[in-house]
Amino acid sequence: MIAQQQLHFLLTDTVPSRRNGSVPPKDETIREDRTIVLKTEHLTRVVFGKRLVDDITIAIEKGEVVAVVGPSGSGKSSFLRLLNRLDEPTTGTVYLEGADYRQLAPRVLRRRVGMVTQIPYLFPGTVADNLRYGPRQRGENLSEQIIEALLDQVGLADRAESDVANLSGGEAQRVSLARAIANGPTVLLMDEPTSALDEESKLEVEALILKVVRQNALTCVIVSHDPAQAARIAGRAVMIKAGRLEKVGPAAEIGHVARFLS
Amino acid sequence: MLQDFFHNQWALGAAQAAASALLVLAVMLLARRRKIHLEREMIVALVRGLVQIVAVGSVFIVLLRRPAWTGMALLAAMIVAAARISAGRAKGIPGTFPVSLCAMAAGSGCVIVLMMLAGVIDTTITSLVPLGSMLIYNAMNANSLTLNRFRAEVESHFGLVETALALGADSKDAVAPYSAVSFRTSLIPAVDSLKSLGIVWIPGLMGGMLLAGTDPIYAAVYQFVTISMILSSSGLTSLVSSVLIRARAFSPADQLLLRPGASAPGGALSAPPK
């Protein structure tokens, strides 16, 4: 019942004060708890002799939004896929709340480290079916109230019974985000979540991501090819080049460097 | 017509083989005109098929005087050969030969042994080997279709499979819809055979039984028995195959290894197993 308990705030008034209102400021100082939630240690992935991810060590604090920027093919997505163990590190590891993630069952790890992909792959069926998918893997059935609350968060209230085949790209990405949140994750990974959308939807989804991440007190790692977007969304950014960690610092500063390099 | 020219059975057989091969060559030429090049595969298949069946005919001359266990040994060898052929239908997935071998041994092997014990299959070599080979051949087709379709389904839905994994599904649940599709597809030929039995086709076995003087009704019922055995051995093979191949498509940490371009640099098959 972990997810149900974690999602219970959606139905109560005990929601963090940052829940309501417009997009909160991405001010790092509002985070009181600076516990390390996610830490990579010499994370490396070598494929056919090519170092896709090369010795990356970084610590991410609770509630932090970290952007991963860098040129095309630099290893940003490869790095992200290692964080929820969709790919296996060749060497190095990841610590989730202090525990080596190789000690966790993959399904437990992936429940705690959610992911939103560039293309919102939705399962055939209704929006509600998609939201129920993750919790159902653990034998939990999300109540209609929680589904409505989740959809309300992403601006899709009353769309629970809509067929996913009839959704626009922006709507599909919103469902994908709500589906990841429905699992009650601690960390949310996002791989270029707005790059497949038109300009209008892109800005809407971007604002929504920021709102949802703050409302749910999530720690977030977002891959973006757009340094300006990284600067808008994240407090901190890491720049990856040829698989290696080139620079870590405030998102605005790193975004400026990345823009210059690209 | 050919009978008028060839009175020796061996010469007549050679002439009939040549006539049927000519038809295949004609189809090959028609395909070639449409820029579909099947020459090499068809010629190899023709030569290989002829040599193999003549060799088996020769083996039968020897086997007729041998004890029943030699028939079982021959069927076991057939299962190994069928597994090798079938494994080639799922290139890109590691370990398809052991998967195919286990699936066909479990599918056709179990049905043959059970039916022998039940007295449905006669243990004489002349009955056991042709009937057993039919079951193995159809199990091979079912296995090839299962492997081929599973790979195609998973590769074309890899995004959904990885999404399911990322949401906390295990590998079994993540590919369940695609395993089901590959299983259903693999059984289409066997199910259609049973549906069309006596209406669209009459198996050669029935003709042989009638020529041997068997009661026509019994011969007809035995065709049903044969096709039912084919369906059960194909189904069992496909079930085992789809379970075993699923395990090969994922690493122990539930990472999908079977992705488009997975064997290329950067692909998933290069992920070191943990």
Reported ipTM: the value is: 0.86
> What does the pLDDT average to over B255-271?
59
Chain B residue nearest residue A176, CA to CA: B163
Q: Please determine, for residue A21, whether its predicted confidence score (pLDDT) is greater than 50.
A: no
What pLDDT does B255 receive? 94
CA A132 – CA A130 distance, rounded (Å): 5
Contact flag A88-B159 (C-beta cutoff 8 Å): no
What pLDDT does A60 receive? 95
Chain A nearest C-alpha distance from B264 (Å): 8
pLDDT band at A8 (very low <50, low <70, confident <90, very high): low
* Residue among B253, B256, B265 minimizing CB distance to A48: B265
Q: Please determine, for residue A153, whether its predicted confidence score (pLDDT) is greater than 80.
A: yes
Taking only the tens place, the pLDDT of each residue in B116-146 is: 888 888 888 888 888 899 999 999 999 999 9
> What does the pLDDT average to over A141-146?
93
Q: Are B128 and B136 in contact (CB under 8 A)?
A: no
Chain A nearest C-alpha distance from B156 (Å): 12
Name chain B contacts of A115, Cβ cutoff 8 Å.
166
**Largest pairwise CA distance in chain A:** 54
**Percent of chain A at pLDDT exceeding 70:** 84
> What does the pLDDT average to over A167-189?
93
CA A144 – CA B92 distance, rounded (Å): 43
Chain A nearest C-alpha distance from B171 (Å): 10
Residue B52 parent element (H or E): helix B39-63
Indicate the pTM of the whole model.
0.79
Q: Which of B163, B250, B256 to mutate to test the interface with A (most CBs of A within 10 A)?
A: B163
Q: What does the DSSP assignment read for chain A?
A: -HHHHHHGGGGSS-S-TTSSSSPPP--GGG-----EEEEEEEEEEEETTEEEEEEEEEEEETT-EEEEE-STTSSHHHHHHHHTTSS--SEEEEEETTEEGGGS-HHHHHHHEEEE-SS--PPSSBHHHHHHHHHHTTT----HHHHHHHHHHTT-TT-TTSBGGG--HHHHHHHHHHHHHHT--SEEEEESTTTTS-HHHHHHHHHHHHHHHHHTT-EEEEE-S-HHHHHHH-SEEEEEETTEEEEEEEHHHHHHHHHHH-
Query: By mean pLDDT, which of A94-108, B47-61, B163-177, B222-236 is the weakest?
Result: B47-61
Residue B200 parent element (H or E): none
Q: Please determine, for residue B233, whether its predicted confidence score (pLDDT) is greater than 90.
A: yes
What pLDDT does B273 receive? 35
What pLDDT does B270 receive? 38
Contact flag B165-A110 (C-beta cutoff 8 Å): yes
> What does the pLDDT average to over A51-75?
93
CA A255 – CA A239 distance, rounded (Å): 9
Q: Please determine, for residue A110, whether its predicted confidence score (pLDDT) is greater than 90.
A: yes
* Residue that wins the pLDDT comparison between B53 and A97: A97
Residue-range domain boundaries for chain B: 1-65, 69-274
- CB-based contact, A106 to chain B, within 8 Å: yes
CA A131 – CA A123 distance, rounded (Å): 10
The residue behind tokens 């006596």 is B198
Q: Please determine, for residue B65, whether its predicted confidence score (pLDDT) is greater than 60.
A: yes
* Residue among A48, A115, A137 minimizing CB distance to B169: A137
Q: Please determine, for residue B63, whether its predicted confidence score (pLDDT) is greater than 80.
A: no
The residue behind tokens 């669209």 is B200
pLDDT band at A6 (very low <50, low <70, confident <90, very high): low
On average, the pLDDT of chain B sits at 85
Angstrom distances, CA of residue A132 to CA of A160, B7, B95, B196: 11, 75, 35, 43
Name chain B contacts of A175, Cβ cutoff 8 Å.
none
Name chain A contacts of B174, Cβ cutoff 8 Å.
none
Chains A, B: CB pairs < 8 Å: 79
Name the interface residues of B facing A (CB cutoff 8 Å).
159-160, 162-170, 173, 251, 253-256, 265-268, 270-274
Q: Please determine, for residue A20, whether its predicted confidence score (pLDDT) is greater than 50.
A: no
Q: Please determine, for residue A232, whether its predicted confidence score (pLDDT) is greater than 90.
A: no
What pLDDT does A216 receive? 84
**Largest pairwise CA distance in chain B:** 73
What pLDDT does A131 receive? 97
Q: Are B255 and A71 in contact (CB under 8 A)?
A: no
Taking only the tens place, the pLDDT of each residue in A34-62 is: 789 999 999 999 998 999 999 999 999 99
Q: Please determine, for residue B68, whether its predicted confidence score (pLDDT) is greater than 80.
A: no
Name chain A contacts of B268, Cβ cutoff 8 Å.
87
* Residue among A49, A85, A138 minimizing CB distance to B253: A85
pLDDT band at A23 (very low <50, low <70, confident <90, very high): very low
* Residue among B159, B167, B271 minimizing CB distance to A87: B271
Query: By mean pLDDT, which of A149-158, A239-248, B54-63 is the weakest?
Result: B54-63
* Number of Cβ atoms within 10 Å of the Cβ of A249: 14
CA dihedral A82, A84, A86, A87 (to 10 degrees): 20
